[in-house]
Structure 1
């Protein structure tokens, strides 16, 4: 499947991104994407060798020029006051076939990536989607500090994930010390079984959506982003474990995988839609305050 096309669902304002690709892309099935390909980085390498960081992605390879000149690039800053309510946005539906999935967790040097086995189909439909999409990859982005780590911003603020005493059940499994330490170094891999994909999604039907791009080279503008309107929680210890993952191999100097995010890109007249009706009092707007979203993250309140 082509991870460069289709849809991405971000569990926002947390840092865990689910990448979803189109259900039937025959060419990609015949030529599955390589996990570690590409000469690029999120931050400067300490070994002294030049590897292009985000500001250079579109300059060093003509096939990546959209990274510099594209008009629908991601991520973006979500200004809640400028969102448009779309009454035709339906609820999203997750179909796992009531089955547990199996997949492989990789340290790609840039992300912790979980790719499901091909025989385990997890489909998502509804929302802004015209047809069903298949879950392709779960990719983790996180910050070196608690006030950064999410690629998208909410009213100018970034998030590293909610620090709390309890966390998401799916992430409890993924970020267990016995599991996450299996992928400490680049190219490490670990097989996971009995995954309940339904557990990763927050219990909300509210979301924000816009048209954008993938946030890695070649920055193809073929993505529909869906930002769920509820945090996903991680514990302080789980964030610490993530920050101990290296983007290098054991023989190389340690360089934390944290801050694996692309900087914010211009919105350029794109429409940000939502299924949250601010004119009606509901569980999403308990005080009926127009365009007044709040998230409590790391001890401070985002208005």
Structure 2
């Protein structure tokens, strides 16, 4: 109630207008913070700053709930192409207070092309979303079900734009490869480098950073050429609708201990109260008139209609209380 009153004063009293000059790109949150000051959660993102109005009124917002009954098979969707130049990469891992973020160095560039993309896109950031419980943590949902986490590889269009900032607000600017995270006894080789105890404990608090070398980004990609794609937005303010999303049709795995380590990361500096970074997800947004395309050819299973509700991708969300749901892959 107190936050609501502050919000109303902010908008309707002329004397409150100078506060807008204090707004900055980081002045937003995923969930309520107990620090006595108002910080906008997702339902307020599009209201507190006119530059963020797409968060409230946009028609192509992300993330979404991927309903397999709405997917359309597109035979012209070719496999995604990953180009590392044959080199491993280095990068700096950050606790941003909102995400675990890995930003590659500029010495060895990583590019993607092909698939639904008409241009070449350069890797800008690897971002991890995760939940406080195993049944939530992914931004995208699959038939209404969440996963413990989601890895997002964020790229910008290097053919048309000079940098990420320019591309983010421009047509065909961003391509995000999204991979759901599930739990297993063994960890994905790339994520294991980021989430092993010696590494993850280096970024316990906001602004902590740690340099990693010798990373092979190809290790992060599951062994499949199948994916789901749609046109959407960046999932943080200012919610620009410039993103092509590519959701890989197989998950990657982390261990229960690594997921626990993620949940022990603080969104605050060490001298402030501990607030877990978990549940750093934006709620799903309406699909509206958009198409969800896929190169998963369900007709090979003897079904004629690509919109048949019985169709299943190669994974499912975590089912609470079922062992199969928390660590197994369901074959299509």
Is the contact between residue 249 and residue 314 of structure 2 (CA under 8 Å) also seen in structure 1? no
Q: CA deviation at 1:37?
A: 4.2
Runs (4 or more) in structure 1 with deviation over 6 Å come to none
The superposition leaves residues 162-219 of structure 1 with CA deviations (integer Å, 9 ceiling, x where unpaired) of: 2210010001111011101111000001111111111001000000000000000000
3-state DSSP of counterpart to 1:227: strand
Is the contact between residue 104 and residue 114 of structure 1 (CA under 8 Å) also seen in structure 2? yes
Unmatched runs of 5 consecutive residues or more in structure 1 = 1-35, 283-287
Alpha-carbon separation, structure 2, partners of 1:280 and 1:163: 29
1:110 to 95, 98, 118: 98
Alpha-carbon separation, structure 1, partners of 2:83 and 2:253: 23
Higher relative contact order (CA 8 A, sep 6+): 1
2:203 to 176, 183, 192: 183
Alpha-carbon separation, structure 1, partners of 2:309 and 2:274: 47
Q: CA deviation at 1:43?
A: 0.5
Alpha-carbon separation, structure 2, partners of 1:86 and 1:156: 23
When you count helix as a share of all residues, which structure comes out higher?
A: 2
Alpha-carbon separation, structure 1, partners of 2:232 and 2:123: 18
Q: CA deviation at 1:81?
A: 1.0
1:95 to 70, 83, 95: 83
What corresponds to 2:115 in structure 1?
127
What corresponds to 1:159 in structure 2?
147
Alpha-carbon separation, structure 2, partners of 1:78 and 1:280: 21
Alpha-carbon separation, structure 2, partners of 1:269 and 1:52: 28
1:79 to 62, 67, 75: 67
Name the Cα RMSD after superposition.
1.8
2:244 to 224, 229, 232: 224
Is the contact between residue 249 and residue 315 of structure 2 (CA under 8 Å) also seen in structure 1? no
Q: CA deviation at 1:291?
A: 1.8
1:268 equivalenced with 2:288 (yes/no): yes
What corresponds to 2:192 in structure 1?
172
Alpha-carbon separation, structure 1, partners of 2:115 and 2:257: 34
Aligned residues: 263
User: Could you state the TM-score of these two structures normalised by the residue count of structure 1?
Assistant: 0.83
3-state DSSP of counterpart to 1:74: coil
3-state DSSP of counterpart to 2:191: helix
Alpha-carbon separation, structure 2, partners of 1:289 and 1:40: 37
Is the contact between residue 75 and residue 263 of structure 1 (CA under 8 Å) also seen in structure 2? yes
Alpha-carbon separation, structure 2, partners of 1:169 and 1:183: 19
Unmatched runs of 5 consecutive residues or more in structure 2 = 1-23, 149-180, 303-307
Alpha-carbon separation, structure 2, partners of 1:205 and 1:166: 22
- Between structure 1 and structure 2, the one with the greater Rg is 2
Q: CA deviation at 1:119?
A: 2.0
The superposition leaves residues 212-258 of structure 1 with CA deviations (integer Å, 9 ceiling, x where unpaired) of: 00000000000000000001101000000000000000000000000
What corresponds to 1:242 in structure 2?
262
Alpha-carbon separation, structure 2, partners of 1:42 and 1:289: 32
User: Could you state the TM-score of these two structures normalised by the residue count of structure 2?
Assistant: 0.76
3-state DSSP of counterpart to 2:254: strand
What corresponds to 1:42 in structure 2?
30
